[in-house]
Amino acid sequence: MDLPRARRAWCLYDWANSAFATTVMAALFPPFFSSLARAAGATATEATSWWGYITAGTLLLIALGAPILGTLADLGGRRKAFLGVFAGLGILMTALMATLGEAAWQRAALLYVLASFGFSGSFIFYESLLPQLARGPEMDRLSVRAYALGYLGGGLLLILNLLMVTYPAFFGLPGKAVAVRLSFLTVALWWGLFSVPLFRHVPEPLMPEPLMPESPTPESPTPVPWAAPRARQRRRGLRGAFAELGATFRDIRRYRQLTLFLAAYWIYNDGIGTIVKMATVYGAEIGIGLPQLMGALVLTQLVGVPCSWLFGRLAGRLGTRGAILLALGVYGLISVGGFFLANATHFVILAALVGLVQGGAQALSRSLFAGLVPRHRTAEFFGFYSTSGKLAGVFGPLIFGAVGQLTGTSRLGISSLVFFFGAGAWLLSRVDVQQGRRAARQAERDAGYTLPD
Residues 19, 158 contacting (CB under 8 angstroms):
yes
- Write down the pLDDT at residue 408: 74
- Write down the pLDDT at residue 1: 65
Backbone angles phi, psi at 233, to 5 degrees: -70, 135
- Write down the pLDDT at residue 230: 34
- Write down the pLDDT at residue 215: 45
The CATH topology of domain 238-452 is Growth Hormone; Chain: A; (1.20.1250)
Task: Measure the CA–CA gap between 167 and 160, rounded to whole angstroms.
Answer: 10
With 0-12 / 13-18 / 19 or more C-beta atoms within 10 angstroms meaning exposed / middle / buried, residue 448 is: middle
Q: Of 129, 126, 122, 128, which Cα lies nearest the Cα of 86?
A: 122
Residues 414, 261 contacting (CB under 8 angstroms):
no
Which residues, in sequence order, are CB contacts of 429 under 8 Å at separation 6+? 321, 325
Task: Measure the CA–CA gap between 159 and 347, rounded to whole angstroms.
Answer: 19
Which residues partner with 217 through β-bridges?
A: 220
| DSSP at 249 | H
Query: What is the pTM (predicted TM-score) of this model?
Result: 0.81
Task: Measure the CA–CA gap between 209 and 231, rounded to whole angstroms.
Answer: 14
Low-confidence ranges of the chain (pLDDT < 50): 208-235, 451-453
* CA-CA-CA-CA dihedral for 40, 42, 46, 49, to nearest 10: 10
Which residues, in sequence order, are CB contacts of 106 under 8 Å at separation 6+? none
Domain ranges of the chain: 1-205, 238-452
Backbone angles phi, psi at 229, to 5 degrees: -65, 135
Q: What is the CATH number of domain 1-205?
A: 1.20.1250.20
Q: Of 1, 28, 122, 9, which Cα lies nearest the Cα of 66?
A: 122
Task: Measure the CA–CA gap between 422 and 199, rounded to whole angstroms.
Answer: 40
CATH topology identical between 1-205 and 238-452: yes
